[in-house]
Amino acid sequence: MPTQMRKKKQKQKKKQQNPSLWQDMNPFLLSKIFSFLSVNDQLFVVPYVCHSWLLSILETLFKNLTLDLRLIDTLDQENQRLRYIRLLKLALNHCQGWVSIYFPTKHLFGYFGTLFVAERTPDVSSVVFTNSGVCGDLTIFVALLYWKNLKVFRAPVGPVNGCHLISQLADSCKKLKEIRLKGTIMQKEASSIVEAFPRIEILDFSESTLSVDALEILFDGRLKFLKEINILHCKVNGDDGKDIRKDYLKLNEVRDKMLEKASGITRLKKLRHCLVKYCPDCYVPDSVE
């Protein structure tokens, strides 16, 4: 026992004499330094030096407030992706406090990988999916069971699963304030949103396909708390299934009707749209199609 105490005192004395030891540096400073290293060094060198360096590199790769998993899309080698996932598991088991999660665009974590993330991040308020492969299966529906405190949800949506996804959001996430769905929004999807989220504040359907009927439902006055709606660069289909942007008279009629209804929503502050004859960002001439 005296020998152990003597060793401990010697170790403490050594620390006092060498205050600049790398392993004893402030973790925040270490994290900042590691952010300038190459991805290979971050994945394969720093984590093996000591425990404090491992914790600091987790802070570098997986920020406290935003768990941004899109880095894995940039990793070309299989060993890099496997090492990244290993470090992600360590971060999820040892760290907390994430507010937002951004899932990768190319890489799919799969059913169990996505649920592993969801189980360990029950308090996040914002989740962003960019890969339609996740939202097309059971994964997203089960993951939503863990995210009870979500306020912001963004994801692609298909013509088949749209209503089911909206229904699951309504059942699991009672605090939602902002929804962004990119895909196909027809009459039934719009009706589901209006009925399920009467207190929603922000809707974003930019770069999606909307029907005229869906637009009429979204602006029929039931969403009394709506503050912002974004339908920039959307394809808008009429009753015949054709894009009304190619029919200037029909386009004017739909736009004027939409603006008139929007003026009746007292809390609406921002309406973003490009329902004009030729939007340079989304108009495609007939000769090019």
Q: Which two tokens stand for residue 240?
A: 């015949």
Backbone angles phi, psi at 63, to 5 degrees: -60, 150
Angle between helices 51-61 and 27-34 (to 10 degrees): 60
pLDDT in tens, the chain (289 residues): 456 656 555 655 555 555 456 666 777 788 888 888 899 999 999 899 888 889 889 988 988 789 999 999 999 999 999 999 999 999 999 888 899 999 998 888 888 899 999 999 999 999 999 876 655 567 888 899 999 999 999 998 877 778 888 988 999 999 999 999 999 999 999 999 999 999 999 999 999 999 999 999 999 999 999 999 999 999 999 888 888 888 888 888 999 999 999 999 999 999 999 887 677 777 656 544 4
The Cα–Cα gap between 165 and 155 comes to 10
The Cα–Cα gap between 197 and 232 comes to 22
CB atoms within 10 A of CB 187: 15
- How many CA atoms lie within 13 Å of 258's alpha carbon, on the beta-carbon side? 24
Instruction: Calculate ∠ Cα 59-100-201, nearest 5°.
Output: 160
Whether the full predicted model's pTM is greater than 0.85, yes or no, is: no
The fourth-level CATH superfamily of domain 179-275 is: Ribonuclease Inhibitor (3.80.10.10)
Q: Which two tokens stand for residue 95?
A: 């760290």
